[in-house]
Structure 1
Amino acid sequence: MKKRSGYLVIIALCCITVGIRAQPIADTLVVTPPEAEVVFLQRNLRLLAAKLDIEVAKAEVIQSKLWPNPTVSIGEVNLWSNQGAEALGRLFGNWGNHAQVAVDVEQLIQTAGKRKKLVAIEETGIALAERSFEDLLRSLQVEFRTQLAELNRTQQGMAAYRQALERLQQLLTGYQRQVAQGNISRSEYMRLRASELELMKTIDDYRRQNGEAQQALKVLMGLPSADDRVLIATGFREIPFDTLEALNAATIQEWTYAYNTELAALRLGVTRADQQLRFERAQRVPDVKLSAGYDRGGNIMRDFVGLGIAVDLPLFHRNQGAIKAAQLALEQSRLLATNAENQVVGEAVRAWKDLQATVARRNLVGPQYEADMEALLEGYHRNFAQRHISLLEYLDFLDAYLQTKDNLLDIEKTLREQYETLRYHVGSQLP
């Protein structure tokens, strides 16, 4: 197989980064979920972009701590003199004997703790950006692990149907000879061919679903869209069923209130809205401008130095509109946070109940059921080949076996999806 330099670079990068083990086939990559997740955390473009929001928030804090720059103005400079000009002495060389100049320095002093309040707003912005990043991370982890579960389901499903297809094709080879010899009716042979086509169609459906999961995972892992390797997920970690059995609705609600990142971000939004209201109210207090000036030859004193102070009179503009807008924004934030708490806690409890139902269904099937079905299929295949059972009996059991396989794979996938959804709601309280 011709190796393309483009994806060889990607293979080398992934192997160096996380130690992913590649099969001898160049376009097949075997990854365990933990290995794939390391690549996802390091290369996911949405996460990398969201991290920059935190750095932007930190830069805003730096900006808010800076003092306003002083203002320097130079004026009253005459470039020529008239007959009534007073001799003042030269400034530079031969120039300046009759030159007048005024220099003023002005500094804005913020009152009512405006600068401190603005710093508090921006520092809350850092915490808000961090919580928003954590919420995005958890939601993407749910999506990533769900796609891994889908990848595993489709690959195992394809393997099961391909195995059944191989056995059926072995029978068809023998049946074809028997039909030619007139020992078996052609209708039985055609019935087996119809079953063969049904299996091939199902395999094609699984292949399509697998391709969709492959593409979604590659996007989440930051791999190029043109990458044509095949990911094979293996080595999933066990779900802690003992821990899940010990949970109850009250614990789920408590954990969701305390550790859900979406709710944490909304609460920080309320805090920031309250800080913004405090800042807008402080804007009612006028700032003070302090000034110092030097005037050469423009006053009764030849070299005059004076101090000044300026303050706005809050007669018309007392920041009324901005204060009202901030009050409404605070009330809006509180309403949205309360609504989200009711919704998210309800979703968490529902996710826990759904997971309980799936676990109960899994326990009802039992760990030995799949092995028993495998043994029975082997027996049915052997007995049918030896003509001990009819075609109808064989095909009925084959259909029951494949349906059971699909159901077991669906249960496994659903378990992992529901567990990851519950983990998203309750945070790090579940492993």
Structure 2
Amino acid sequence: MKLFLKTVLVLGMLVLAAGCASEQTLIEPPSESTLGDKNYGQSPALNKNVEPQDTAATIQISDTLTFPDALSKAVLENPRLQSYGWQVRAREAERLQASLLPNPRLEAEMENFGGSGQFEGLDNREITIRLGQKILLGADRLKRKRLAGYNQQLAGWDYETQRLDVLTGVTQAYISALEAQQQWHQQQELVEVAQKLFDSISSQVEVGKVSPIAKTRAEVELSRARIDLENALNRFKAARSNLSSFWGSKQPVFKELAGTLAQTDSLPAYPSLVQYIQRNPDVARWATEMQQRESKLSLERAQGIPDPTISGGYKHFEDVGAEAAVVGISIPLPLFDRNQGDIKAAKYQINRGRSQRQAAVTEVTRALQEAYNRLQASYHEVKQLQNQVLPGAQSAFEGIQAGYKQGKFDYLEVLDAQRTLFTSRTRYIQALAEYNRAIAEVERLIGTPLSDIPSN
């Protein structure tokens, strides 16, 4: 009996030691950021995934939507971004799992009973109770935990990439909606101008100063302006719906947008932008990606080392009323499987990663060149429209209007000046919107606001 008590005590201490070695901690947001100066652990959208029922952090949208509210609403409620937040949490849980020791194995065995002859009945039975524990060689547990840590960091990079994509998408959608709103307002102004011109010509027709054909032409022009006004309103509605889809809304609750399209500013030179490519998360993540693949290779090599299992227990001999201790060790023989296939695959993944990193840099550089070309083209177009075309068209329209009242110009000349002016205004709004969208695209590719980069 003393031997039995000693054995139970030893087994209990073994289990206690295994439990202490695998002490668990609560899952909390990462204490350190893997994203340089961007701490994704402090993101409201990511932290909201911890308690999804908490609706305290919400953005209420009024009839007039502001740009900051649009950004905050999307970051908090974008469904795709939230899915990446859950991915970060899943990787945290996997890292916790990787830090745990394998469970001990309890075995119980009874033999030499229920047979024939002297083994008939239970008088000669032997009872064995054994507790076994696998011993991890090659630092498997440490390397699994390190690999899981890199996977967690990569999930953080994925989240940061998606967050920037959402912010860029919302910015461009807001610019497009603002463009549609300004075009709609301008078309309203055009309808008012066409209506006044039609009323003026109608009055002159009644007194016989102009031909009725001029009234017909003015009426046609007014009808066209009203059709364009309806089309402009429909485009504005579509732009509002596209913007609200970024936070999962099926129907926009806001009626209009606050703000105006930003005016052009001096542009930084292209070579000064290229040096910021490393801030792009699609590029910056590859430092962690290569560390993760190196860690994977290290783990595969460690798993090629067989892990022994030691066991100890108690055996009771019923026929002689005696007890004895039982110890054992089990070691897999690496005759055929030394994990050589997975080791080679991990090496190939490292080589593949080097090529993928270079491809990512090349792709971002190409996209940056294209975006900068669009930015530069829209910048020059806005400048020309702003400094030359619009002032000239406005001056010509006002001059011809005044001359028309004095009888110096006919209706067709007034109509031509009117079309030139409003077409130039439309072109200006389009160019200004394209300029702002190009800024958002360039800032996404370099991970830095253009305002932080010295201009020419």
TM category, shorter? 0.7 to 0.9
Residues 378/234 of structure 1: CA separation in 2 closer, same or farther (3 Å cut): farther
Unmatched runs of 5 consecutive residues or more in structure 1: 1-13, 23-28, 87-95
**Structure 1 residue 289 and structure 2 residue 309: aligned?**
yes
Residues 38/237 of structure 1: CA separation in 2 closer, same or farther (3 Å cut): farther
SS of residue in 2 equivalent to 1:204:
helix
**Structure 1 residue 143 and structure 2 residue 169: aligned?**
yes
User: Which letter maps to 2:82?
Assistant: L
Q: Is the 8 A contact 1:255 1:429 kept in 2?
A: no
**1:57-76 paired onto structure 2 within 5 Å:** 57-76=91-110
Q: 1:235 aligns with which of 259, 275, 281?
A: 259
- 1:249 matched to which residue of 2? 270
Residues in 2 aligned to 1:125 and 1:381: alpha-carbon distance in whole angstroms: 69
Q: 1:425 aligns with which of 445, 448, 452?
A: 445
Please report the RMSD computed on the Cα atoms of aligned residues, expressed in angstroms: 3.1
Residues in 2 aligned to 1:398 and 1:337: alpha-carbon distance in whole angstroms: 55
SS of residue in 1 equivalent to 2:138:
coil
**Structure 1 residue 112 and structure 2 residue 112: aligned?**
no
User: Which letter maps to 1:214?
Assistant: R
User: Which letter maps to 2:142?
Assistant: K
Residues in 2 aligned to 1:16 and 1:103: alpha-carbon distance in whole angstroms: 56
SS of residue in 2 equivalent to 1:317:
coil
Residues in 1 aligned to 2:415 and 2:428: alpha-carbon distance in whole angstroms: 20
Residues 79/214 of structure 1: CA separation in 2 closer, same or farther (3 Å cut): farther
Q: 1:222 aligns with which of 240, 243, 248?
A: 248
Unmatched runs of 5 consecutive residues or more in structure 2: 1-54, 452-456
Residues 429/214 of structure 1: CA separation in 2 closer, same or farther (3 Å cut): closer
- 2:179 matched to which residue of 1? 153
In the TM superposition, residue 289 of structure 1 has moved relative to its aligned partner by 0.8
Q: 2:376 aligns with which of 323, 346, 356?
A: 356
User: Which letter maps to 1:163?
Assistant: E
**Structure 1 residue 263 and structure 2 residue 287: aligned?**
no
User: Which letter maps to 1:357?
Assistant: A
In the TM superposition, residue 118 of structure 1 has moved relative to its aligned partner by 1.3
- 1:191 matched to which residue of 2? 217
User: Which letter maps to 2:141?
Assistant: R
Residues 371/230 of structure 1: CA separation in 2 closer, same or farther (3 Å cut): farther
SS of residue in 2 equivalent to 1:206:
helix
In the TM superposition, residue 98 of structure 1 has moved relative to its aligned partner by 6.6
Q: 1:308 aligns with which of 322, 328, 332?
A: 328
Residues in 2 aligned to 1:165 and 1:429: alpha-carbon distance in whole angstroms: 39
- 2:66 matched to which residue of 1? 32
Q: Is the 8 A contact 1:252 1:349 kept in 2?
A: no
Residues in 1 aligned to 2:422 and 2:216: alpha-carbon distance in whole angstroms: 20
Number of residue pairs matched by the alignment: 397
In the TM superposition, residue 125 of structure 1 has moved relative to its aligned partner by 1.1
SS of residue in 1 equivalent to 2:276:
helix
Q: Is the 8 A contact 1:270 1:333 kept in 2?
A: yes
User: Which letter maps to 1:397?
Assistant: A
Identity across aligned pairs (percent)? 21
- 1:415 matched to which residue of 2? 435
Q: Is the 8 A contact 2:118 2:124 kept in 1?
A: no
SS of residue in 2 equivalent to 1:76:
strand
Query: Once structures 1 and 2 are overlaid, which stretch shifts more, 327-336 or 156-165?
Result: 327-336
Q: TM-score, normalised by structure 1?
A: 0.82
In the TM superposition, residue 35 of structure 1 has moved relative to its aligned partner by 2.1
Query: Once structures 1 and 2 are overlaid, which stretch shifts more, 185-194 or 278-287?
Result: 185-194
**1:35-46 paired onto structure 2 within 5 Å:** 35-46=69-80
Residues 132/299 of structure 1: CA separation in 2 closer, same or farther (3 Å cut): farther
- 1:212 matched to which residue of 2? 238
Residues in 2 aligned to 1:384 and 1:299: alpha-carbon distance in whole angstroms: 128
SS of residue in 2 equivalent to 1:106:
strand
Residues 202/266 of structure 1: CA separation in 2 closer, same or farther (3 Å cut): farther
In the TM superposition, residue 330 of structure 1 has moved relative to its aligned partner by 2.2
Deviations 1:330-373 (A, max 9, x none): 22222121111112123223323432333233333446964675
Residues 402/47 of structure 1: CA separation in 2 closer, same or farther (3 Å cut): same
Q: TM-score, normalised by structure 2?
A: 0.78
Q: Is the 8 A contact 2:81 2:159 kept in 1?
A: yes
SS of residue in 1 equivalent to 2:367:
helix
Query: Once structures 1 and 2 are overlaid, which stretch shifts more, 285-294 or 266-275?
Result: 266-275
In the TM superposition, residue 385 of structure 1 has moved relative to its aligned partner by 4.9
Q: Is the 8 A contact 1:355 1:418 kept in 2?
A: yes
SS of residue in 2 equivalent to 1:241:
coil
Residues in 2 aligned to 1:283 and 1:143: alpha-carbon distance in whole angstroms: 44
Query: Once structures 1 and 2 are overlaid, which stretch shifts more, 188-197 or 396-405?
Result: 188-197
Residues in 2 aligned to 1:230 and 1:196: alpha-carbon distance in whole angstroms: 30
SS of residue in 1 equivalent to 2:447:
helix
